[in-house]
Amino acid sequence: MKSIKRYLHRTITLTLLTGAGLAITAAYFTSQHEMDEMFDAELAKFSRIVSGLHQGRMDNLDYRRIARQLNQPKHPARYYTADGQLTPVDPTAEAQAVRYYDEERMISIGFWNSAGHPRVLDGEWHDNGPFPAPTESGYRWQEYDGQSWRVFSMPLPDDEGWISIGLRKKFERELARKIALSNTLPYVIAIPLLALLIGMLVLRGLQPLERLSRQVSRRHHKALDPITEQVPLELEPLREALNTFMSHLHTTLERERRFTSDAAHELRTPLASVKIHLDNARVADPEARQSLSKAYQGIERLQRVVEQLLTLARLEHTAAQRQERINLYPLAAQLAGELWPWADSRQQQLVIDGEQRIEVAGNATEIGVLIRNLLDNALRYSPPGTTVTLSLHHTTSHAILDVLDEGPGVPEDVLSKMTERFFRQNHQHMSGSGLGLSIVSTLARQQGAELSFFNREEGGLCARMAWPLTAPETPDPQAV
């Protein structure tokens, strides 16, 4: 996994370099374009000035004087007669030639008469024969002696001829590069400093995340209290998610701890009873048979506890099952028939009444376990000779299954605790494990139903299951 710090530093620096490169490139081409426009304007302006200073009907002496002023070392200007004849170079004038700047070689000037014959040409325009004469006014690109020249030409006053002023293309490009380089230099100096500053800022910006990581890593595996580290707004969702996760984990671990403790306590009691009664059975006296009977009851109770513990474990670790439309009446009738022999052995009546078609969305197996546990609990805690009724009906919004008994009822302050594991109120003489209603509660949540208990006015307890009539079907996990 890549480092966020390294990624941010590298990405921001590369972005900065890219932006600087684009800026330099844009500056180069912009400078070149501006230089072209500026030099074109300068060429035209100089041509106008020289043309304005030109004295009409200039003679040979005037042109000779202009040529003398244009001389440069090793590049003397050349003077031509009116018929286009090249005159010799004046050795005295060449010896006195001075070049004030090397860039003077980049600019040249020439005069031509109206017949197109040269009169005066700058030295750079005579290194390889006369520079081509102009034929029309305006700008043009002219190739001469391996160089490209930007030339502006215009006619002289009184139809005296032509004047051309030219600038080497190389000069324009070098000037544009120098301007671009001068713009680049600040970037070359600033980018390393900015990269260092960006690294420091990224490091500082990620410090809250590193502090949060250190606080979590230093925690003991049992330290599940909320994280109180102050974090930026962007990290608050992460902190809240961690706190929520630790809260859920704490609740789960606490529930498992209580479950283990309660299970150990509940399993210890019947096992101790079995040991005592079996020891008594070893004594050859009339009480041996009674002790064996009590030992059998203890083992039976232990078996029921283990079975229901396994049922709870399966329910809590099993994914939601696919739901279907189920008619509660046939399922309830089948389960009542299975429990009828046991009810009859206790001189109890098991009755089903109400509507014979109540459909709900759920899993038939889980609803069967749910109904069986409710009936078992009602029969187990009702006195002999009483009736347990399973009633089916519906309201405008729910399908209702009620299990009504004629037992002693439950104190109001205990009703909310009935689904806790191993809770059996004061009926310790009963053979129940205290897990049946906890299983019912778990199944009710998985089936999208509501479980409630209330004491009946005529005596006894009512356990009510309510399914929404429009319960949506749970998607098949295998189909995802």
The span from the CA of 221 to the CA of 209, in Å, is 20
Residue of higher predicted confidence among 13 and 257: 13
Residue 183 lies in a domain: no
pLDDT digits (tens, 9 = 90+) for 397-426: 899 999 999 888 888 777 767 767 555 554
Residue of higher predicted confidence among 373 and 274: 373
| Domain match, 117 and 240 both | no
| Domain match, 66 and 173 both | yes
pTM for the model stands at 0.40
Question: Structural domain of residue 259, as residue ranges?
Answer: 222-317
Q: Is the pLDDT of residue 472 over 50?
A: no
pLDDT digits (tens, 9 = 90+) for 27-36: 777 777 777 7
The enclosing domain of 450 has a CATH number of: 3.30.565.10
Residue 117 lies in a domain: yes
The enclosing domain of 260 has a CATH number of: 1.10.287.130
| Res. 392 pLDDT band, cuts 50 70 90 | very high
pLDDT digits (tens, 9 = 90+) for 218-235: 776 567 777 777 777 777
Q: What is the mean pLDDT of the chain?
A: 77
Residue 115 lies in a domain: yes
| Domain match, 75 and 154 both | yes
| Domain match, 305 and 340 both | no
Query: Distances from the Cα of 406 to the Cαs of 366, 375, 400, 459, in angstroms?
Result: 26, 13, 19, 6
Q: Is the pLDDT of residue 91 over 90?
A: no
pLDDT digits (tens, 9 = 90+) for 96-141: 777 777 777 888 999 988 888 899 998 888 878 889 999 899 999 9
pLDDT on residue 476? 44
| Domain match, 258 and 334 both | no
| Domain match, 397 and 461 both | yes
Residue of higher predicted confidence among 317 and 307: 307
Proportion of the chain above pLDDT 90, given as a percent: 8
| Domain match, 313 and 330 both | no
Last residue within a domain, chosen from 117, 146, 178: 178
pLDDT on residue 376? 85
Q: Is the pLDDT of residue 390 over 80?
A: yes
Q: Are 439 and 311 in contact (CB under 8 A)?
A: yes
Averaged over 4-12, what is the pLDDT? 77
Q: Are 133 and 118 in contact (CB under 8 A)?
A: yes
| Domain match, 369 and 253 both | no
The listed range with the strongest mean pLDDT (257-261, 388-392, 457-461, 469-473) is 388-392
Q: Is the pLDDT of residue 156 over 80?
A: yes
| Res. 477 pLDDT band, cuts 50 70 90 | very low
Averaged over 264-270, what is the pLDDT? 62
| Res. 440 pLDDT band, cuts 50 70 90 | confident
Last residue within a domain, chosen from 263, 283, 317: 317
Q: Is the pLDDT of residue 325 over 70?
A: yes
Residue 216 lies in a domain: no
Q: Is the pLDDT of residue 55 over 90?
A: no
The span from the CA of 15 to the CA of 362, in Å, is 58
Averaged over 269-278, what is the pLDDT? 66
Count up the domains in the chain and report the number: 3
Q: Are 409 and 456 in contact (CB under 8 A)?
A: yes
Q: Are 206 and 4 in contact (CB under 8 A)?
A: yes
pLDDT on residue 475? 41
Q: Is the pLDDT of residue 154 over 60?
A: yes
pLDDT on residue 451? 87
| Res. 151 pLDDT band, cuts 50 70 90 | very high
Among the listed ranges 67-81, 112-126, 318-332, 334-348, which one has the minimum average pLDDT value?
Answer: 318-332
Return the HEC string of the chain: CCCHHHHHHHHHHHHHHHHHHHHHHHHHHHHHHHHHHHHHHHHHHHHHHHHHHCCCCCCHHHHHHHHHHHCECCECCEEECCCCCECCCCHHHHHCCCCCCHHHHHEEEEEECCCCCEEEECHHHCECECCCCCCCCEEEEEEECCEEEEEEEEECHHHCCEEEEEEEHHHHHHHHHHHHHHHHHHHHHHHHHHHHHHHHHHHHHCHHHHHHHHHHHCCCCCCCCCCCCCCCHHHHHHHHHHHHHHHHHHHHHHHHHHHHHHHHHHHHHHHHHHHHHHHHHCCCCCCHHHHHHHHHHHHHHHHHHHHHHHHHHHHHCCCCCCCEEEEHHHHHHHHHHHHHHHHHHCCCEEEEEECCCCEEEECHHHHHHHHHHHHHHHHHCCCCCCEEEEEEEECCCEEEEEEECCCCCCCHHHHHHCCCCCCCCCCCCCCCCCCHHHHHHHHHHHCCCEEEEEECCCCCEEEEEEEECCCCCCCCHHHC
pLDDT digits (tens, 9 = 90+) for 347-389: 999 999 988 888 888 888 788 888 888 888 888 888 898 999 9
Among the listed ranges 17-31, 307-321, 412-426, which one has the minimum average pLDDT value?
Answer: 307-321
Q: Is the pLDDT of residue 428 over 50?
A: no
Residue 201 lies in a domain: no
| Domain match, 166 and 52 both | yes
| Res. 199 pLDDT band, cuts 50 70 90 | confident
Q: Is the pLDDT of residue 12 over 70?
A: yes
Sign of CA dihedral 417, 423, 429, 432: positive
Residue 193 lies in a domain: no
Q: Are 70 and 77 in contact (CB under 8 A)?
A: yes
Q: Is the pLDDT of residue 436 over 60?
A: yes
Last residue within a domain, chosen from 267, 289, 317: 317
| Domain match, 156 and 171 both | yes
| Domain match, 313 and 411 both | no
Residue 208 lies in a domain: no
| Domain match, 302 and 352 both | no
Residue 207 lies in a domain: no
